[in-house]
Chains A and B, each alone.
Chain A
Amino acid sequence: MASYRYPNVAASEITPRSVWLDRRRFLAGVGTAAALPLIGGGVAHAAALKTTPGPFTIDEEPTAKSDVTSYNNFYEFGTGKADPSANSGDFRPEPWTLEVDGLVGKPQKFDLDSLHAFPLEDRTYRMRCVEAWSMVIPWVGFPLAALLDRVEPLGSAKYVAFETVVRPEEMPGQRGLFQPLEWPYVEGLRLDEARHPLTILSVGLYGETLPKQNGAPVRLVVPWKYGFKGIKSIVRMTLVEEEPVTSWSRLAPQEYGFYANVNPEVDHPRWSQASETRVGEGGFFNAARRPTLPFNGYADEVASLYAGMDLRKNY
């Protein structure tokens, strides 16, 4: 007869290590909170989000969260894949202001609460990096069109220009002698691309707020384009008449174009785009490459946006 049973405590009930290591600050916080009822209201780090299932679901296994959050391109924190998760500790995504201006009837500033007030949906999308690897990521977000409706774009607006935050003191990749890109990181979409129901502003993944390395607190997700179009930590969106400059096409125009639609027929000058490695699939020895699909498998939804365009020229 067993005289002792191990307590069966659910993992979720155990205080996370980071919290108990920080218990003194927590107690100090409780004291401050009693005196000044200002704490709260903000969105806690990795907080659960209230979501509803969104459209465009795909029947593919989501990539492990550990891969999604530790293998990133976010050059503001360094050019290595592990740099964004390792070097983003000082980054403060709260409070945040996303400013929307330019050719709009109602220029507005959105804080985190107002972004989280949009009806949040679960959207599991394929993500194809221009470096020929891919993931399946369960994003949480809302259609960019919903936000654009609030600011009422003028008839003259043809493009949306996006801008990432510049904070060298919090982003080690933005300081130092060698700067890989010009800051701020800038991206752009044609207005009809921006309004497409597939295009979302994401505020989370795997049901929780976005980790810093994935572009906290708000980023763009355009699943039929290469990953670099998904600009992270956005502070500004400007509606404009002319095609805006984008970071990668400014750096290497012969390698990266404005459109950057996923296209197995058009190679990157230095590697083939015909196939891709799905991260985490098949392991080390069976990392079978899968064929890359036109528009990353979203051709039915978006190919009509480019009717009559030469996609070899407009890569």
Chain B
Amino acid sequence: MAQVEARSVQAKPAQGRTARAKPWNWRPASIWALYAVGFVPAVWYFYLGATGQIAGNAVKEFEHLLGIWALRFLIAALTVTPLRDLAGVNLLRYRRALGLLAFWYVLMHFLTYMVLDQNLNLGTILADIAKRPFITIGMACLVLLIPLAATSNAWSIRRLGPNWQRLHKLSYLIVLGAATHFAMSVKVVTAEPFIYLLIAFVLVGYRALRPRIMRWKKARRLAESAR
């Protein structure tokens, strides 16, 4: 539904100009640019790690960096809707890219842990996942992200219909899980993990309030047009 809306918004200005030469459509390019920019932290830190320029426990530092960027992209993807509702800024066309970037970062985070950190020692990895709650939660988030990433294409959206929306509400659970995973992994209480937890709670809490906010906005719009 949301996808269709986005497309119709996109179509309007283009129609007015079709009579003349078709202007270059910058939107798909801007989405590819977002992917390119989004992978910069991973590529840059991978380069630093591979060339021995990360001091100390390089693998762990890289692993943590990928994790924190995964959380940032999750948060960015879930900020698209409130930003449109409350500030009138429509970034809907970038939401899929943000969500997929989050998925790729989570996957790289896990692969770094599995391959570079634990050297594919499956016994230790499975024991970690089973025994240590913060790793269990992190793993659950990765597993839950898989169906979301797999259905992030136009065909799935058409095919699943309203179930697509329902399925993708899993992202609320995932962002809460990811922020909890981060907060539980640190040794001491510092501001950073709590800021992420707070943001995650605000974003998910907004979804609970959203129907009321949208009703109020609609009523106001109707009142204005009646005048």
Residues of A in contact with B (beta carbons under 8 Å apart): 66-67, 70-71, 75, 79, 81-82, 131, 133, 177-178, 180-181, 251, 269-272, 274-275, 277, 279, 283-285, 287-289
Q: Are A180 and B56 in contact (CB under 8 A)?
A: no
- Encode B25-49 as 1/0 by CB contact (under 8 A) with A: 0000000000000000000000001
Q: Are A251 and B188 in contact (CB under 8 A)?
A: yes
Q: Is the contact region of chain B dominated by helix, strand, or loop, or is it mixed?
A: helix
Using A133-B57, A277-B57, A277-B59 as known contacts, say yes or no to A283 and B128 having CB atoms under 8 A apart.
Answer: no
B127 neighbours in A (Cβ, 8 Å): 272
Q: What is the bound-complex CA distance between A277 and B128, given in angstroms? A: 17
Q: Which one, B74-82, B101-109, B116-124, B204-212, is touching chain A?
A: B116-124
Q: What is the bound-complex CA distance between A103 and B49, given in angstroms? A: 51
Q: Are B189 and A180 in contact (CB under 8 A)?
A: yes
Q: Are B59 and A81 in contact (CB under 8 A)?
A: no
Q: Are A71 and B57 in contact (CB under 8 A)?
A: yes
Q: What is the bound-complex CA distance between A287 and B50, given in angstroms? A: 11
Q: What is the bound-complex CA distance between A269 and B187, given in angstroms? A: 11
B interface size (C-beta, 8 A)? 29
B215 part of interface (Cβ distance < 8 Å): no
Q: Are A270 and B185 in contact (CB under 8 A)?
A: yes
A279 neighbours in B (Cβ, 8 Å): 56-57
B60 part of interface (Cβ distance < 8 Å): yes
B219 part of interface (Cβ distance < 8 Å): no
Give, as a whole number of angstroms, the nearest-CB distance from B185 to chain A. Answer: 7
**Most chain B CB neighbours (cut-off 10 Å) among A81, A133, A284, A285:** A284
B191 part of interface (Cβ distance < 8 Å): yes
Give, as a whole number of angstroms, the nearest-CB distance from B102 to chain A. Answer: 24
Give, as a whole number of angstroms, the nearest-CB distance from A12 to chain B. Answer: 24
CB nearest neighbor in A for B127: A272
B58 part of interface (Cβ distance < 8 Å): yes
B86 part of interface (Cβ distance < 8 Å): no
Q: What is the bound-complex CA distance between A277 and B52, given in angstroms? A: 15
B49 neighbours in A (Cβ, 8 Å): 284
**Most chain A CB neighbours (cut-off 10 Å) among B55, B59, B128:** B55
Q: Are B56 and A71 in contact (CB under 8 A)?
A: yes
Q: Are A285 and B50 in contact (CB under 8 A)?
A: yes
A178 neighbours in B (Cβ, 8 Å): 189-191
B61 part of interface (Cβ distance < 8 Å): yes
- The residues in B between 172 and 212 inclusive whose CB is less than 8 angstroms from any CB of A are 184-185, 187-191
Q: What is the bound-complex CA distance between A156 and B197, given in angstroms? A: 50
Q: Are B60 and A133 in contact (CB under 8 A)?
A: yes
B134 part of interface (Cβ distance < 8 Å): yes
A270 neighbours in B (Cβ, 8 Å): 132, 134, 184-185
CB nearest neighbor in B for A181: B188
Q: What is the bound-complex CA distance between A81 and B185, given in angstroms? A: 15
Q: Which of B55, B60, B124 contacts A67 (CB 8 A)?
A: B55
CB nearest neighbor in A for B49: A284
